[in-house]
Structure 1
């Protein structure tokens, strides 16, 4: 299936159509992602103040990760993770334009009926500003603590993605000998957009064929991101609709960016190695967690001009137009550096890329 944003020319290197310049491909969007929506260098109460600034800076959306058992007095540095649904409610109440999404909710840990009710409630209260990112949620630590059998998570995930649109549609759903209407119904029609988070090509293709988009998390290595995007596009997906995650840090110059960010890179990669992240298939290998490799391959960093060039390289190769920045570096980036980077992202990088894509 040929997507409308593709030109008729072929890329001989990979044997597929390369991104064209359709209307969707010219609309740049900038989001933030993390346990605290990319703002988790500070406590939740302060996040709500900073969210208002983020909205004023012109960011498209904030995406909240679902994690558990992280962020306490035993962890002096690093991310602080809270209930994403409750945090989303607070953020939506403090904003008027900013969209709030999930990157991602873990299907294995949620009851489908309750999740349908809660997402629809957020959508109603926010006048339709909710995006639903969801994944299988196969972290063995979480499954064990929640008492979930890992053997059933794949079926539960696909069943949930089938159930949610039905729950949000008009009418009742049969439950045994009776039927119920799941309430409330969301504002967005036919329902809030669904983005599937995955590390496998098979699930990326399955999601697309079932009418969903994918969301690419910034912790996934670029080779794996390319495979996922190609599987998504080959199945008929539009790359311009994919929130594409990367670690992002903007400074006044390339030299200052590296100097300011390097201590954070060393702390983050040490923590990620300790988590055994490289043992998770389809994410990143051990070599990718070496600080130099990580900075080069996983991070968009530098002056606004350099960061714009790096994003346009992604756009030209993959057709992405939505940069979803892991701006807090899992909470290791000091708050003053985070705030300055956000200012440069919103005031310089964003308008520059909007203009660039508008005339492409």
Structure 2
């Protein structure tokens, strides 16, 4: 841990009625999420070409997961994960409008001063297109490899989220006997948006009470998503600002979607069962990792009309307006299918949902 470094500074196709939240109507946003920003069915520099393409298709942003030690056997693991900060810089350099976020960075593995500098640098060079998603980062494999003790990661996380806004504000901060201005300062004011990733109700409520949003990852089962959203909203959070993750695949028809996607679902669920994801409390139960259950409960798949209906059902229930698609299915989806699904998402599904939310 970096204990002591910053302790002194912490102080029309569908017309539905939206729930009456007392908040203004929100426009639909469509993002992509994964260790390659939802584009990880490809693991070379061509991923940057794909990022340019999704920008042209009208996607709001891509979100990069921080993962480690994955990709040595791509046929088994499905994806090769890159450094998220470096990949973010490359994508931002190749695009003009697309936002780039993190879904999420792992606080336990980052020095707070260094992270403040790097996120601010990305914000400056991109003219303010960065979203910081961050979580406690308590994966024991990662902590062990990085030499971080699990005790204290919760305190480190909350101290970091207190520190970062102060680091990005004008002026200096005390560091022992010295004072420093952490540079550069970000373009977005008061700072890049902070999205908290969590599996617990307590942290979801804490996020909004401290001026942050939450980000819901698509690997979390719907009962757990509902629980987290309820805790967040009950504490005063706005559901319309939450990037809401689901596995998403769009095809011409419901039948073609199932036929095309089914081999990917079988590979992905085998992989997820293999590393015991269901043993992590508050994420997903083992029964939902059976392929049929996974397809039914964890995936928005089908024709554009069906996918729009499924998202609007989430909107009606939870108030979400930002669909954050795990489009590459952890890299197991073949690239031609990913490209076709992205095209349908951008050209057909996105405009349909924009109209639906405008009507609502």
TM-score category of the 2 structures, normalised to the smaller one? over 0.9
Distance of 1:19 and 1:243 partners within structure 2? 20
Distance of 1:34 and 1:160 partners within structure 2? 24
SS in 2 for 1:237: coil
Distance of 2:199 and 2:44 partners within structure 1? 29
Q: Contact between 1:66 and 1:106, CA under 8 Å: does it hold in 2?
A: yes
Q: Which residue of 1 aligns with 2:284?
A: 284
Q: Which residue of 2 aligns with 1:318?
A: 318
Q: Which residue of 1 aligns with 2:218?
A: 218
Distance of 2:269 and 2:128 partners within structure 1? 37
Distance of 1:152 and 1:80 partners within structure 2? 30
Give 1:318-337 correspondences, 5 Å limit.
318-337=318-337
Q: Which residue of 2 aligns with 1:267?
A: 267
User: Could you list the runs of 5+ residues in structure 1 that have no partner in the other structure?
Assistant: 1-16
Displacement, 1:72? 1.9
Distance of 1:94 and 1:349 partners within structure 2? 25
Q: Contact between 1:61 and 1:99, CA under 8 Å: does it hold in 2?
A: yes
User: Could you list the runs of 5+ residues in structure 2 that have no partner in the other structure?
Assistant: 1-17
Q: Which residue of 2 aligns with 1:9?
A: none
Q: Which residue of 1 aligns with 2:177?
A: 177
Give 1:116-265 correspondences, 5 Å limit.
116-265=116-265
Displacement, 1:77? 5.2
Displacement, 1:79? 1.4
Displacement, 1:76? 5.0
Deviations along 1:29-69, one digit per CA (max 9) or x if unpaired, are 00000000000000230100010000000000000000000
1:97 aligns with 2:109: no
Deviations along 1:213-270, one digit per CA (max 9) or x if unpaired, are 0000000000000000000000000000000000000000000000000000000000
Deviations along 1:276-333, one digit per CA (max 9) or x if unpaired, are 0000000000001000110000000000000000000000000000000000000000
Deviations along 1:108-163, one digit per CA (max 9) or x if unpaired, are 00000000000000000000000000000000000000000100100000000000
1:308 aligns with 2:308: yes
Distance of 2:185 and 2:285 partners within structure 1? 43
Deviations along 1:3-52, one digit per CA (max 9) or x if unpaired, are xxxxxxxxxxxxxx9454843x4310000000000000002301000100
Displacement, 1:80? 1.3
**TM-score for the superposition, normalised by structure 1:** 0.94
Q: Which residue of 1 aligns with 2:13?
A: none
What RMSD over aligned residues (CA atoms) do the two structures have, in Å? 1.2
Q: Which residue of 1 aligns with 2:10?
A: none
Displacement, 1:169? 0.2
1:358 aligns with 2:358: yes
**TM-score for the superposition, normalised by structure 2:** 0.94
SS in 2 for 1:183: coil
Number of residue equivalences? 343
Change (3 A) 1:77 1:305: same
